[in-house]
Structure 1
């Protein structure tokens, strides 16, 4: 039986919550990535995280036993830098509100880095900064109020770590937005197209699939550039998020982790009575509630049941699937 990945020439991975959690590899990720490369599948790593350089990401992946070269990693600072090159004058003054990794990428494409609004920057670029100071936010806001264009690496409100969820770049951007509520921000990271477009162009591929753990960034990002997506449960979002997903945030397929790419495609079938089957699971409507009939002893069986359930909730958003989802106790 064919594997899910056999339909694609390449796979692009989000990192946080998909390949690693903080300093630790997601279980089975290094082995699955090695198998994908053995099959000749092109592999790329895509991250919205603007707090670390591509070189730091490469070093971490190698430390985790994952083969990676510099050209395999595309970051949101790299993508926003290329977008700004297209939209701003060469050598223009740019004020940074972010980490050193962002400063380095903006400087590398020839912009003049300034640190104060009084230097009259033509643009402010903001990205996740683990050491963000309030004066830095104030200074960026004053520049924007004086006419500087506002660019952002990404708008992730939160991100997963090995210790739990933390506030992300989106939270920092929202803080600044309270001071400049009428300002428009141009964003490179998922779900906006530039980051994935940059990755596809760099990899020179025609049939990629994108793997992610967030519906509102990863899955919607894939939708926005017209490619398939594979959702995993090792990071931020879970079964209730999936059941209630809006159309542009519905993945092509699901798996517990990235090793699911090497398994057969999970198939759901709608029967004449309106019920849906997947594997040995059957989801049907009783009144306005979704009911599930299945063996639910393994993660794979629960994933089959979930895939059947979401076919119903996606077709009719008024259905109540709460009880059916609560039965899937191995899925978060």
Structure 2
């Protein structure tokens, strides 16, 4: 296969093809954690077997996460509890990204106020900074990352320091955090409280900014990286911005409907239901014409857009049925995605873009 250029990444409608399993075609996987390797306290089907198989095939692994609360060993312990083999040196968190970014702005050994937990403190200490939880220590910077212990008092300490002139650095700007009960407040929502009170915009690390991927890749080594994530607006926006192809899985936040409707900046390069996509080949999307009708074909499945509705060659119109999701197989899902992206790009080139009539989609496990 021909690997994509690393910068910039092609934003065309088609998915990429790989005749080899992705773990053989790419030499390092930049794996998201929540929604990919595990789901809160729940296990993700097929995750352990396929991550471990990718490692056994010679693929390097880097666990890249916006969760700034966990220190590397804590991440390793959680992965181990999910039967995934990992080492602390393979973990790269948004806290580590923020600490690395801070070295570009303040002197080594500077005092930094931590609005966060152990993950942020350890990342800063590893970069040679001193840490405090009090603005009275006159910190030169405030690094803010999500942690359940962050409360009004600690947020206020951060605000005191920012108002006194400290540089404000956010590990990430995720508005929400997925939990077993739904979406809770993420770091971005807490950062917004400090910004609202201070009137000063922070520097921000983590996804969707490309720096977390480029810094993680530098640490992991390798020349042909693959990003793996469940969330389009963080994992895949960041990967595209860094020029790294992405594999999207349906075990987390963004569902199949989100993928089919994705704008160019959020589109993955490979699609699967789960991490089996890491150890399998990926078929080529091909534009075909039959009886004067144009289709996108993946495997033996074909899809197109007629008017503003998606249609499968052997399944008819993809429309909602009594509120139930449309159930399709994996290659039909891939064909629908490239057909929708192609149609959407053509619409965007016109003066007025029409909206695609798109129901909820459930992809049947292969």
TM-score (norm 1): 0.91
Contact 1:244 1:313 in 2 (8 A): no
Corresponding position of 2:93: 75
Q: Which has the higher contact order (CA 8 A, sep 6+)?
A: 2
Corresponding position of 2:269: 252
Question: CA separation in 1, counterparts of 2:179 and 2:44?
Answer: 11
Contact 2:330 2:363 in 1 (8 A): no
Corresponding position of 1:215: 232
Task: Show structure 1 runs of 5+ residues with no match.
Answer: none
* More displaced stretch, 22-31 vs 100-109: 100-109
Corresponding position of 2:340: 310
Shift of 1:288: 3.2
Structure with higher helix content: 1
Tell me whether 1:108 sits opposite 2:143 in the alignment.
no
Corresponding position of 2:160: 142
- 1:159-188 residue CA offsets vs partner (Å, 9 max, x unmatched): 32344332211121122221123x121122
1:25-64 residue pairs with structure 2 within 5 A?
25-64=43-82
1:14-25 residue pairs with structure 2 within 5 A?
14-25=32-43
Of the candidates 178, 185, 188, which is equivalent to residue 205 of structure 2? 188
1:113-124 residue pairs with structure 2 within 5 A?
113-124=131-142
User: How many equivalent residue pairs?
Assistant: 328
Contact 2:79 2:86 in 1 (8 A): yes
Question: CA separation in 1, counterparts of 2:64 and 2:257?
Answer: 25
Question: CA separation in 2, counterparts of 1:198 and 1:329?
Answer: 35
SS in 1 for 2:128: coil
Question: CA separation in 2, counterparts of 1:86 and 1:6?
Answer: 35
Contact 2:239 2:246 in 1 (8 A): yes
- Cα gap change, 1:288 to 1:60, in 2 (>3 Å): closer
- Cα gap change, 1:301 to 1:248, in 2 (>3 Å): closer
- 1:206-236 residue CA offsets vs partner (Å, 9 max, x unmatched): 0010000111111011112111111111001
Tell me whether 1:96 sits opposite 2:114 in the alignment.
yes
1:162-181 residue pairs with structure 2 within 5 A?
162-181=180-199
- Cα gap change, 1:3 to 1:105, in 2 (>3 Å): closer
Contact 1:254 1:266 in 2 (8 A): no
SS in 1 for 2:198: coil
SS in 2 for 1:139: helix
Question: CA separation in 2, counterparts of 1:39 and 1:32?
Answer: 10
Contact 2:262 2:341 in 1 (8 A): no
Question: CA separation in 1, counterparts of 2:34 and 2:297?
Answer: 32
Shift of 1:95: 1.1
Contact 1:9 1:206 in 2 (8 A): yes
Of the candidates 284, 308, 320, which is equivalent to residue 288 of structure 1? 308
Of the candidates 252, 269, 273, which is equivalent to residue 235 of structure 1? 252
Question: CA separation in 2, counterparts of 1:34 and 1:115?
Answer: 39
Question: CA separation in 2, counterparts of 1:36 and 1:114?
Answer: 40
Contact 1:94 1:123 in 2 (8 A): yes
Shift of 1:319: 4.5
Corresponding position of 1:262: 279
Task: Show structure 2 runs of 5+ residues with no match.
Answer: 1-18, 316-325
Contact 1:276 1:312 in 2 (8 A): no
Corresponding position of 1:322: 357
Shift of 1:94: 1.1
Shift of 1:298: 5.3
